[in-house]
């Protein structure tokens, strides 16, 4: 089995690990680091449940090899807010009822963060486009759209 040494930052923490060259970033996060908030839905990059931020951009961690992330900054749902101090995006998803079973929620929240970091006041169409790679079977998308709008407002109030 081929292995590679990678050094990266995950949720603000620097680490170096040996990983099989065939290991996905999703499996590395879940199995090696115990960060189980990121979920595997389809395993084909179609559902968005495995979305994390790689150097600030949303990626499907089920499609990306961990060895390709050497030198990268990875942010997962565990690195966003804390139980006693949730991120405004997390608050907005809860307040808007955009969380049902919770399976897709981490990927949705991370996609919303990437959007709002780039565009703090998106239109509904921009939200729909940014969230289009994330599928939800429980809530429907009206509440998710509402949650991202509310998150933008909350973040604006924090920075305003």
Residue 33 backbone dihedrals phi, psi, to 5 degrees: -105, -10
* Phi, then psi, of 10 in degrees rounded to 5: -120, 120
Q: Kindly give the pairing relationship between strand 57-60 and strand 13-20.
A: unpaired
The packing angle between helices 142-159 and 88-95, to 10°, is 140
Structural domain count, the chain: 2
Q: 156 pLDDT band (50/70/90 cuts)?
A: confident
Q: What b/e sequence results for 137-154 when a residue is b if at least 16 CB atoms lie within 10 Å of its CB, and e otherwise?
A: eebebebbbbbbbbbbeb
Return left, alpha or beta for 81; rule: phi > 0 is left, psi -120 to 50 is alpha, else beta: left
Mean pLDDT of the chain: 95
Contact 28, 36 (CB under 8 A): no
- For 101, the domain range is 88-159
* Matching residue, tokens 């499907």: 60
Give me the CATH number covering residue 62.
Answer: 3.10.20.30
Of the residues 20, 50, 79, which one is the last residue of a structural domain?
Answer: 79
Indicate whether 155 and 106 sit together in one domain: yes
pTM: 0.94
Read off the CATH number of the domain in which 107 is found. Answer: 1.10.150.120
Q: Please, which residues have CB within 8 angstroms of residue 15's CB and are 6 or more apart in sequence? A: 7, 8, 9, 33
pLDDT digits 0-9 by tens, 68-104: 999 999 999 999 999 899 999 999 999 999 998 889 9
């Amino acid at each position: 089995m081929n292995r590679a040494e990678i050094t990266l930052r995950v949720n603000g923490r620097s680490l170096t690990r040996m990983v099989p060259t065939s290991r996905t970033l999703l499996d590395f996060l879940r199995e090696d680091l115990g960060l189980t908030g990121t979920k595997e839905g389809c395993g084909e990059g179609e559902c968005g449940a495995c979305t994390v931020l790689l150097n600030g951009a949303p990626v499907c961690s089920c499609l990306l090899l961990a060895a390709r992330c050497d030198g990268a900054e990875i942010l997962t749902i565990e690195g966003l807010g804390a139980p006693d101090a949730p991120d405004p995006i997390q608050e907005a998803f809860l307040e808007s009822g955009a969380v049902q079973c919770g399976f897709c929620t981490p990927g949705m929240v991370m996609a919303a963060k990437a959007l709002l970091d780039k565009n703090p006041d998106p239109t509904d169409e921009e939200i729909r486009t940014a969230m289009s790679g994330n599928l939800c079977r429980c809530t429907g998308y009206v509440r998710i759209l509402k949650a991202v709008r509310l998150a933008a407002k909350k973040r604006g109030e924090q920075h305003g």
